[in-house]
Amino acid sequence: MAYSYKGAISFGLIYIPITLHNAVRSNQISFNLIEKNTMSRIRYKKTCLDCDNKEVKQKDIVKGYEYEEGKYVVFGDDDFEKIKSKRDKNITIEGFVNLEEIDPIYYDRPYYIVPGKGAERAFSLLSGAMEKANKVGIAKTVLGTKETLIALRVKSGIMYLNTIYFHEEIQPLPYLVPEITLNPQELALASTLIESMSKPFEPEKYIDEYRRKIEQAIAAKVQGKEIVIHDEAEFNPALDLMTALQESLKQYETGTRA
């Protein structure tokens, strides 16, 4: 499997060469944009404002920072590399926390961590110690041109890396949480409904049903058939909260859920 990053984990004075490998893949079906009359693919041309619509080749495109209106300083890949210190190029563990202390809102992308050749013993030592202590390592590194906050965790001997957002990147809640006095009977019913719906998390049981519907629709259109719309029961917004809770609980208790 090709790696996404090659570097090292720095743990105190211990240096562990590693590679990162994507832990997830996109399951999205890709559609091309086409002109509806000619069925021809749409192309996007890169042009510049002062080039009279002339297409600019990739080799002539650079990164520029606008420090004044219309004035730029240019940065190339070498410039970004010069800025990086040895610490920036490593995944430097700055401390350890409990997993439950990290709110899931901070998580971004997951990766598998694979030790480099000759680093297996040091990697196993760090991995085993972290799992025994049930701790998550918080680290930083520079990926591309951005400093990235990182969470390292171990489960069943496998070390994972999650990029996580800086606190300043988290948007504030867009509304004020209202103070509402809950009806004790409604709260008891809602708690009972939650309990009746509770079960172990088995991720393999959840499938992308909408993707399958798209695949079936694509197959139908290829064969010149129309897409068949399946009727489904509508939600009934007219039900008051208490009735909706009671009916929901009844469905789960009797196994008649749609």
pLDDT of 149 above 80: yes
- Per domain, the residue ranges of the chain are 5-27+82-168, 184-254
- Per-residue confidence at 4, pLDDT binned at 50, 70, 90? confident
pLDDT tens for 199-256 read: 999 989 988 888 888 898 999 889 998 888 777 666 666 578 888 888 888 888 777 6
Provide the pLDDT for residue 120. Answer: 95
Pick the CATH number of 5-27+82-168 from 3.40.605.10, 2.70.98.20, 2.40.290.10, 3.40.50.2000: 2.40.290.10
Rounded percentage of the chain residues whose pLDDT exceeds 90:
52
pLDDT value, residue 142: 87
Task: Tell me the pTM.
Answer: 0.78
pLDDT at 65 over 80: yes
Q: Which of 57, 37, 36 is nearest to 45 (CA)?
A: 57
| Alpha-carbon gap, residue 80 to 141, rounded angstroms | 14
pLDDT tens digits along 81-91: 888 777 777 89
Query: For residue 258, is pLDDT > 60?
Result: no
pLDDT at 124: 95
Higher pLDDT, 59 or 228: 59
**The dihedral of CA 241, 242, 243, 245: what is its sign?**
positive
Residue 90, judged by CB atoms within 10 A of its CB (0-12, 13-18, 19+), counts as buried
Question: What pLDDT score was predicted for residue 208?
Answer: 87
